[in-house]
Amino acid sequence: MGLVLLAMLCFLPVWDSIDMLRNLNYAFWGPPGLPLTIISVSGVILVFFFCTAEAFFNRWRNEIHTAPSLVVMSSLFVMLLGLVLVLVSLPLTHKTLTLHNEIAYECGVSEATRPVAVHYADLLRVRQMPECAAEASVEACRGYREEPIITRYLKDMENEFQCSGFCYNAPRTNVTNTNILGRQIATSGDKGFSTGTIIRSPPTLFSLSNFQASCDGAAARNLINFAQDTGNEMWYVGVTLISLSVVMNFWEWTFRLAK
């Protein structure tokens, strides 16, 4: 029963860790060691608890098979799991925030984003050639060069988030008609007409959909909404488990005093 209850406590952080490893953005940008630490330590805790419980009931003398002893043993493993979650959540939250800021505010300049921005710029130059514009994908164009990890990431981003462009600095043009495709950042006027600046989105690389959303913006939002929320959740679960362990030990202490 104790093993089942402990496994239930480990289930949520392990599930979140697997989700992080499967997430498109975290798998590309984030350190895999943090979720892998949660998964491996949770497994070690379960195995160690099983061995300790087996020794407690089958090897040690019957005099120690008391409720306070069980409480102390259980609270030890609960606190250990809570400490691991708290210690992992802190660097996870910090790293996620750092990556978000680099993508959102230093895209193409920071060390982490520069290789992706450079490779995207190379693919965009190929895509904008007249003979490539009508192709279904840049992969069919002459001059296409693949960087397996980065190319796969850009392709998956475009398909999943329906976006285009990564660290793309678009030329701005003044327009007077709202029917021109693009991102309008300033408008004025009435009767269906507008004047302002339009940022034209680049063509999509792996389809002819020509989405208007920015892929680097989608990546930054996904990181902050998913990975940082997961880190905060681990923090709260860890603090709750540590508090539960303290309450269990306090109950055991008051039991001894009453006895």
Taking the C-alpha atoms of residue 6 and residue 165, their distance in angstroms, rounded to an integer, is: 46
Angstrom distances, CA of residue 129 to CA of 140, 169, 202: 12, 18, 13
Q: In the structure, what pLDDT confidence band is assigned to residue 196 with cuts at 50, 70 and 90?
A: very low
Please say if the pLDDT value at position 158 is more than 90: yes
Q: In the structure, what pLDDT confidence band is assigned to residue 125 with cuts at 50, 70 and 90?
A: very high
Give, in degrees to the nearest 5, the angle at Cα 156 between 103 and 199: 50
Please say if the pLDDT value at position 147 is more than 70: yes
Please say if the pLDDT value at position 257 is more than 70: no
**pLDDT for position 252:** 64
- pLDDT (tens digit, 9 = 90+) per residue, 28-46? 998 899 899 999 999 999 8
Q: In the structure, what pLDDT confidence band is assigned to residue 69 with cuts at 50, 70 and 90?
A: low
**pLDDT for position 3:** 82
Please say if the pLDDT value at position 113 is more than 90: yes
pTM of the model: 0.75
Radius of gyration of the chain (CA): 27
Taking the C-alpha atoms of residue 259 and residue 248, their distance in angstroms, rounded to an integer, is: 17
Mean pLDDT, the chain, whole residue set: 82
